[in-house]
Structures are given as C-alpha cells and as structure tokens.
Amino acid sequence: MHFFSFIGRQIGLANVWIALSADHGVSSLPDTVKKLHIPAANLAGAKLDQQLNAAIGAKFFAGKAGRYARFSYPLVWLDNNAFLVAHVKEEEAEKAVGEAMKNLGIRDYYTKSQLAEGEIRNDELGRQYLNSYSPLGSWFVMGVPNFYTVGAAAGTDHASPYKYDTYVPLAFYGVPFHPGTYRDRSEPIDMAPTLASLLGINPPTHSVGRVLTEALATHSTPSAGESRP
C-alpha cells in the first residue's frame, strides 16, 4: 500500500495502469490434502537424486558411483558426455532415465527425443509438455508428477501441469479498463498485446497473446461489478 500511496502522490493513480499476474500457482500442502483422503506426498529431492543416479550407474556404468544425471523434481538433466563415453545413445539413455523416474514415484515422463519428434498424447497435457520443449541444452527428461506430489521433503511447491499450478490471476487497473469479472479464457501472454494496443503501438514481435477487448472501457462490456456468464 505504501508503494501505491507514493505513486498516487507523485503521479496520480488516474495516470497509472497496473497489471498483475503470476508465472505459476502452487500445490496445496500434501499433509492437508491427505486429511481429505486424497493421495498426496512429499518427496525428498536430494534422496531422489541419489536413488536415480544409483539406478543409472547399475544399468549403464557397471555399478560405478557417479553423477550421471541431475534430478530437479520433476525434471532430470543427463550428463550426455558420460553416456556418450559409455556408447549409449540419447534416446536409449533418456528412456532408461524416464523408467527409473517412474520407479521413484513419477507418474509418467516425456523425453527430449520424444518431444523433438512430437510424440505426445493428443490432449491438453501432452500439448503443455510439447510447448515446453527446447532443442537447446543437454539431454533431458520431463517428469509428469502425480497429483499433489511435490519434490520438497516438507511444505509445498509448484512445477506440475495441473490446474492448481497453472491457473493464475490476471488483473488490470486504470482508466482504460472496465471494472468487472470476466470468465472468457485469458492468459498472462495476453497482457503484452493488450497494453500495446492501449499505447497505440505494435505488440512485441514474438507476442502470441490476444487483446483483451472485453475488459477495455471502450468495448461493450457488462456494467461495473457485473460478471459475465
């Protein structure tokens, strides 16, 4: 509140536009979810990392201890140089790591090789993982965690593809915006083109969002405070 009071005194809130969103949500506390008789768990990330590397060492490196992969729940980055020295191809290594992840409590996985070929389930979940693919960096495996299962030994965390992790607020304040609650589908990527439109400039070159015309005062919208059906 002190910040907005300062802005109000220095500039005047009538001359300010404010946009609020977030990059992720968060899981409910697993201990709380369990009380509702819903499966949930806390997984110790450091222990998972040790167990995963032990399994990889046993399969490909004659049981020799080493750091062949880094488990940052629910993602794993492989040391591709170590596997290349052992004459293990990327697709084979990633698949083996994915199966080892499932043995440690991961629900499912997508390898970098799979995503590169577009080998996903044709549903919203599969498309979410495909949109997260990058050809850069080392070999990797993206784990699909179980519901309400987090990689911290206590408390909670994020990094899942589920609604509680992917639904975030998107709010605007200022003279150009019409007060109200809007239930049309919107995303944080809509923020940039909306503000660019109000400024009378082109959206950023790589912008893929839309202008949220339903929330603009110049558009035909519900009365103040009225919700869309």
Q: Please indicate, yes or no, if residue 68 is contained in any of the structural domains.
A: yes
| Residue that the structure tokens 């790589």 belong to | 206
Q: Please indicate, yes or no, if residue 140 is contained in any of the structural domains.
A: yes
N- to C-terminal Cα distance for the chain? 32
Same domain, yes or no, for 48 and 88?
A: yes
Across 143-178, b (16+ Cβ under 10 Å) vs e yields bbbbebbbbeeeebbbbbbbeebeeeebebeeebbb
Q: Please indicate, yes or no, if residue 224 is contained in any of the structural domains.
A: no
Domain that holds residue 205: 2-23+168-215
Same domain, yes or no, for 15 and 80?
A: no
Contact between 33 and 148 (Cβ < 8 Å): yes
Q: Please indicate, yes or no, if residue 221 is contained in any of the structural domains.
A: no
- What is the model's pLDDT at position 22? 94
Which residue type occupies 199?
L
Q: Please indicate, yes or no, if residue 155 is contained in any of the structural domains.
A: yes
Same domain, yes or no, for 106 and 211?
A: no
Q: What is the pLDDT along the chain (229 residues), one digit of tens a residue?
A: 899 999 999 999 999 999 999 999 999 999 999 999 999 999 988 899 999 999 999 999 999 999 999 999 999 999 999 999 999 999 999 999 999 999 999 999 999 999 999 999 999 999 999 999 999 989 999 999 999 999 888 999 998 999 999 999 999 999 999 999 998 889 999 999 999 999 999 999 999 999 999 999 974 444 444 444 4
- Pairing between strand 149-150 and 41-42? parallel
Q: Please indicate, yes or no, if residue 192 is contained in any of the structural domains.
A: yes
74 prior amide bond cis, ω within 30: yes
Same domain, yes or no, for 104 and 48?
A: yes
Same domain, yes or no, for 6 and 95?
A: no
Same domain, yes or no, for 197 and 128?
A: no
- What is the model's pLDDT at position 220? 42
Same domain, yes or no, for 98 and 196?
A: no
Strands (DSSP E) along the chain, which ranges?
Answer: 18-20, 41-42, 69-72, 75-78, 108-111, 140-144, 149-150, 171-173
Same domain, yes or no, for 109 and 91?
A: yes
- What is the model's pLDDT at position 1? 82
Same domain, yes or no, for 88 and 180?
A: no
**How far apart (Å, rounded) are the C-alpha atoms in residues 29 and 25?**
13
From 25, 27, 19, select the one nearest 209 (Cα to Cα).
19
**How far apart (Å, rounded) are the C-alpha atoms in residues 222 and 89?**
58
**How far apart (Å, rounded) are the C-alpha atoms in residues 23 and 25?**
7
- What is the model's pLDDT at position 225? 45
Bridge partners for 77 per DSSP = 70, 140
Instruction: Look at the chain and report how many structural domains it folds into.
Output: 2
**How far apart (Å, rounded) are the C-alpha atoms in residues 219 and 177?**
9
